[in-house]
A and B are shown apart, each in its own frame.
Chain A
Amino acid sequence: MDAVALDDLLGSSAREREESWRYSKNAIRALTQQTFATAPPDATLSAETLQRIDLPFTRGRRIVIVNGAYSQRYSNIGELVSTIRLHHESAQRLKITISTGCADPLHLVYVSAPAGSASRWQADCEVELQSGSAGLIEQHVGEAGADVFGTLTSQITLGPGTVLRATMISDIPDSVSLLRKGHCTVGNSAVFAATHAHFGGRLQRIESRIDLVGTKSSCSSRGVFVLRGREHVDVHLDVRHNARDTRSNVFWRGVADQRSRGIFHGAITVAAGADGADAQLSNKNLLLSANAEIDTQPVLEIYADEVKASHGATVGQLDERVLFYLRSRGIPAAAARNLLIAAFCREVFDGMAIDVMREYLDAALVARLPADAGMP
């Protein structure tokens, strides 16, 4: 990718860039100064990767994108219903049109596969849901090796009365950096419900802008990141209430161990005239080490009347009294810690519509906890 295109992703003005990348300044500078070749779109994936992306409940509805390019070889779309149309403007630009929703989720997989030296990919994906309700799983995986830097822009358009349940999961090694810029437009009475789980990455930037443009439209963004080593995740939510009687619910949790770094920036704007809006934001974070850091910044701007809004953000540590209580009943310290971390994160997955997906996220979460301790 050339410098101009990257500039565009980082923010349109210098001031905007400065502000928005405040907490990830060094991480992004290092990336922009590094030399990357174009990542090979025809990379062969390891058996382990293939196993990780093979969710039994999405077989036949799996679109695999390797280093930014649609992969005919690894995609498996034999059971795609006729109401879902894929359109490739190029290998790196995919458009998915869903004329009528269906019960089974569509699975989009982005694989970052390393080359011999540092490499970079970019992709763009557009999803349009015209009627009914649909499920979408966006999964990012990566293989360890030389550095990979991927950028993904995506647009989601939800027609009147539609419901999209999206699950966004990333589990990538610390040689992989991902910049994701998503923009969702929600029409009249439509619902956008996203659940995120992010693990790992040298730098993961997750930007999600949600425009509630239709009357009575609503969105929820629930998410968790669990970090260790020198992993760095920077979440930027930008929810805009632009119509009457709209609702948003933002519920994020973060856990950082060792020398990792987490950032949560949650902005909710209720525009003038968007009366009757209801905006709730909750962000809680857990620091597991003195060398880890999490910054949280909730920003609520209200220009309308009759708005119900609340927000709360905290950064804390495991409660020693609770840990002692568990240990006094016989649960070893490390397992007690895991139990509390998992409980803290699981709140995000509560009430997920798709049970198998919740179980999948839960297993991914447990796999991220210090393994030697196990779950009690």
Chain B
Amino acid sequence: MMLKIDNLHVRVAGKEILKGLTLGVKAGEVHAIMGPNGAGKSTLGNVLAGRAGYEITQGSVEYNGANLLALEPEQRAAEGVFLAFQYPVEIAGVNNTYFLKAALNAQRKYRGEAELDSMQFLKSVREKLRVLHISDELLHRAVNAGFSGGEKKRNEIFQMALLEPKLAILDETDSGLDIDAMKLVADGVNAMRDPQRAFIVITHYQRLLDYIVPDFVHVMVDGRIVESGDKSLALKLEEHGYAWIAERKLAGVA
């Protein structure tokens, strides 16, 4: 098991948001997480990436057999955890290329790998840009500064492609993308699918899952996974909405 989340309880600003979340992800798998606004999906992504301000009151998260929660965010990144943010921040004055090279080399250094020189780095960048059909003009700008909503999301996927994580968490990367851009993002993800790599794809739309076909679909409501299934679960959700899950629960079906 690559990622093992067990009975995770998390408080934010004194309020319990995750209320006993359990989830296992094996290398090679793609898990989709769906659920209503405020269910705690982004909270889960932030906790996995190591953002400060989240109090773990109960439960555990193991990543490749070790306690993930004990690591600093930069250590998690170097160990292969990547979060594509729901709302990527703009970083004025920090050049995108410089940032990417700094990030990649910091990770390589942590892992004891040789740092890439500018030539090697740019070669790698060009390859990834081509696959994702991203204009290299974005590279010369400050990180996400003045990027459109869609460009920011694509930049997240571009970073993922470059950093080649082991566990990628995509938080609503499809939101705000036009249909062509969504296909490009899906192509980018599919090109990276690999027996050694796992994805957690958070989305509100079944449509994305037509392109990134998940092995598992989970429904998260009020800080817990309340239903898990295969791709067909997403279709049922699309048809009936989240109320349907609640009714099924009441009727004792699940």
Q: List chain A positions with a Cβ less than 8 A from chain B.
A: 319-322, 324-333, 335-336, 339-340, 343-344, 346-347, 376
Contacts and interface: CB of A to CB of B under 8 A. Distances in A.
B106 A333 contact: no
Contact of B77 (A322, A328, A335, A340): A328
B77 A329 contact: yes
Interface string B80-113: 0011010011011110000100111111001000
B61 interface: no
A330 B104 contact: yes
Interface string B144-188: 000000000000000100010000000000000000000000000
20 contacts: A322-B89, A324-B49, A325-B85, A325-B91, A326-B99, A326-B103, A327-B72, A327-B73, A327-B74, A328-B73, A328-B74, A329-B77, A331-B74, A331-B102, A332-B72, A333-B72, A339-B102, A340-B91, A347-B92, A347-B93
Contacts of A331: 74, 102-103, 106
B68 interface: no
Given A324-B51, A340-B94, A343-B91, A330 B110 contact: yes
Contact of B74 (A319, A320, A333, A344): A333
Interface of B: 49-52, 72-74, 76-78, 82-83, 85, 88-89, 91-94, 99, 102-107, 110, 159, 163
Contacts of B102: 331, 335, 339, 376
A336 B94 CA distance: 11
A249 B7 CA distance: 58
Contacts of B82: 328
B106 A335 contact: yes
B77 A325 contact: no
Contacts of B99: 326, 329, 339
Contacts of B89: 319, 321-322, 325
Contacts of B73: 324, 327-328
A328 B49 contact: yes
Contacts of B76: 328
A319 to B, nearest CB: 7
A224 B77 CA distance: 34
Nearest to B94: A343
Given A320-B52, A324-B52, A376-B106, A329 B163 contact: yes
A329 B103 contact: yes
A328 B71 CA distance: 11
A220 to B, nearest CB: 19
Contacts of A319: 89
A113 B53 CA distance: 49
A346 B93 contact: yes
A346 B72 CA distance: 28
A346 B93 CA distance: 8
B50 A328 contact: yes
B93 to A, nearest CB: 3
Given A327-B77, A328-B49, A343 B92 contact: yes
B73 to A, nearest CB: 4
B94 A330 contact: no
A67 B193 CA distance: 68
B158 to A, nearest CB: 12
Contact of A330 (B51, B92, B93, B103): B103
A326 B107 CA distance: 12
A346 B98 CA distance: 15
Given A326-B91, A326-B99, A376-B105, 14 more contacts: A324-B49, A326-B103, A327-B74, A328-B49, A328-B50, A328-B51, A328-B76, A329-B77, A330-B77, A330-B103, A332-B106, A336-B74, A339-B94, A344-B93
A336 B102 CA distance: 10
Nearest to B100: A329
A90 B89 CA distance: 58
A357 B221 CA distance: 58
Given A333-B74, A376-B102, A322 B91 contact: yes
Contacts of A347: 92-93
A336 B77 CA distance: 14
Nearest to B108: A330
A325 B50 CA distance: 10
Contacts of A343: 91-94
Nearest to B78: A330
Contacts of B159: 329
Contact of B83 (A328, A332, A336, A340): A328
Contacts of B106: 330-332, 335, 376
From B73, B82, B91, B103, name the one whose CB has the most chain A CB atoms within 10 angstroms.
B73
Contacts of A336: 74
Nearest to B88: A325
Contacts of B49: 324, 328
A90 B21 CA distance: 81
